[in-house]
Structure 1
């Protein structure tokens, strides 16, 4: 016996609430499964391509896992220790950077530092960095290890990713078999739109972050910037948030270049030119090629989703913010389309005249305005 639509809506609403409460209460527990699922979704097209070349799903998954292990080993042995070392050096150097900035302001804009509020703020900031710089670095590292435990990275996430990637097609087919038969076509249509948005934005944007992060890090290190790897990594990672990566990464790089190369304007110009070139390549080639012209995620909606979900659910919320924002956007567009095609919008007669014309001027069959409306001396 089929359930009434109202009762089906009730069940789906309850299921959604259970999912939200699970994110709220079990954030750290389900974190490896969310990360493993996200990585498996990201790698599924690669596994499908290997299958098209004649390999089995198990062989394709094994090859991807071996390559991932090699990349992880290289990062763990070479890149991560260098990033940690540069982070510690930058925090230790921060008081000197602040003093140089204060001296520059005093020489160039002496009236500005006569403002006691500005002067006191800079002095207190310098004292705080000097006294708590080491503690800040330790806190950053310890909090990162708390959020993403080393055991999760080494054991749980790779295992979850491997099995989810191996069984991805079977899981999708199983879920498809559970869909309500009366609405299966509609749900599949919405699911395809969601997959299009996620594959176009998430997979594409992650690739953009990797490409730009590598470009910035290699170029800045080649330019001789002391913290080039750290700045490039930060800029690449924050590229996921529109405009934020370019602003923060560019400001940090140019600020460090001014401190390191003061008076050597060619070197400073090279650092600025690297970010200008990176933004040009991103806007004209990298993002259009990898992400596409339009995937339906407005930058403001993305920033709001990251802020809201990060505040509500912490690190887990940050991970699910973009997929959930994409799902909400696709579902909202679907219901808006239904509304625009329904009687509530078009009216009982189904007419949609361009404006509120008098009934006598509207063709009853087509709903079009067939006469003229007098407006003073003018006619419309």
Structure 2
């Protein structure tokens, strides 16, 4: 019918959206660090939007809520940069420099107490000596490079100025932007896209906000607990163990092994303090496994540790630091999309072995009329002869 728009096939729509997604990925790959401040600002605004909404419900205007949140976050960031980061860098550098001595002492202890474990003492000793020397040489240089990169990274104008400004304006208009994006969704698939977006938001927000709170609690417990027992490098080891705790058991294994190794090196002959270090990690693991993870993060997040590590590796390799920043949200989005496609597959004929039902036939309009209506319409349609209108012969004409 003229004026009626034709429906675009789903295959063409998928091709169009696939090309759009590929263009976006290529743009991110080409721009790299240029878009990093804007990505970080958008991420901060996304994480802080629920807090702004809560302050609005408490009676503050949106502008005042955003201003208050921004001031608190800027003060917290400055405090971390001035107080926490220098201490972490100093302890990390000292730990790297002390590691060869710890390795040498552990080697001597094993050779003295368990000589059968080392069949070729000379070769093993030479190998460990070379490893210690290489670690000593490369450790200081690595720490210097990391420190220089960190200072250059944090000290850039883009991260110190652009990120807070972007986060401020995006947080101020976040609800309007969400409504605008919703109005631009393709109408045919709007309901499905909204449902997928809600699931992605639940997975991503649950993981990021929940895991951040877990890391904060564990970091405070490990860092101050190890510092109280007098463990050297305890603050750095505690923070490292807490940050790695987003992968189950990895944080406690790496952090615990490092802490126990340092405790054996520092508190040898004093088992009380060694036991205190072990107890700190045991309590942290019990609290994390039985309360923090189930109650705060929950089991509905849907981000498996292996899937998260794969995303970090792939996106980090493809897009560098920008990829590492985007790895978690992309992992959440891809996980939700994979579950959606899997559900569609289970409903399809490829899984069930049955052909999908065809499209229903077009409806037939049936009009009910009184009996005899058709006969009357036929009678009315009979052609009645019409008299000729041509003029006849006039008077006096034959």
Q: Structure 2-normalised TM-score?
A: 0.83
Measure the CA separation in 2 of the matches of 1:307 and 1:242. Answer: 17
1:75 to 80, 95, 110: 80
Q: Determine if contact 2:312/2:323 at 8 Å carries over to the other structure.
A: yes
1:118-157 residue pairs with structure 2 within 5 A?
Answer: 118-145=124-151, 150-157=156-163
Aligned to 2:12: 7
1:327 to 328, 333, 340: 333
Against the structure 1 CA distance between its residues 78 and 184, is the aligned structure 2 distance closer, same or farther, given a 3 Å change threshold? same
The SS at the match of 2:246 is: coil
Q: Determine if contact 1:40/1:165 at 8 Å carries over to the other structure.
A: yes
Aligned to 2:242: 236
Aligned to 1:180: 186
The one-character-per-residue Cα deviations of 1:330-372 (angstroms, maximum 9, x if unpaired) are: 1111111122223333343779xxxxxxxxxxxxxxxxxxxxx
Cα distance, 1:148 vs structure 2: 5.1
Q: Determine if contact 2:45/2:171 at 8 Å carries over to the other structure.
A: yes
2:317 to 311, 320, 325: 311
More displaced 10-residue stretch of structure 1: 116-125 or 188-197: 116-125
Count of matched residue positions in the alignment of Structure 1 and Structure 2:
351
Against the structure 1 CA distance between its residues 242 and 156, is the aligned structure 2 distance closer, same or farther, given a 3 Å change threshold? farther
Measure the CA separation in 1 of the matches of 2:66 and 2:346. Answer: 45
Q: Structure 1-normalised TM-score?
A: 0.87
The one-character-per-residue Cα deviations of 1:288-336 (angstroms, maximum 9, x if unpaired) are: 1111123222222122222222222222212111111111111111111
Measure the CA separation in 1 of the matches of 2:155 and 2:83. Answer: 20
Measure the CA separation in 2 of the matches of 1:117 and 1:307. Answer: 36
Aligned to 2:57: 52
Q: Determine if contact 1:112/1:118 at 8 Å carries over to the other structure.
A: no
Whose Rg is larger? 2
Q: Determine if contact 1:200/1:291 at 8 Å carries over to the other structure.
A: yes
1:270 to 269, 276, 281: 276
Aligned to 2:299: 293
Structure 1 spans left out of the alignment, 5+ residues:
352-380
Aligned to 1:355: none
Measure the CA separation in 2 of the matches of 1:182 and 1:350. Answer: 21
2:91 to 69, 81, 86: 86
Aligned to 1:205: 211
The SS at the match of 2:181 is: helix
Q: Determine if contact 2:97/2:140 at 8 Å carries over to the other structure.
A: yes
The SS at the match of 1:293 is: coil
Aligned to 2:32: 27
Against the structure 1 CA distance between its residues 347 and 129, is the aligned structure 2 distance closer, same or farther, given a 3 Å change threshold? closer
Cα distance, 1:208 vs structure 2: 1.2
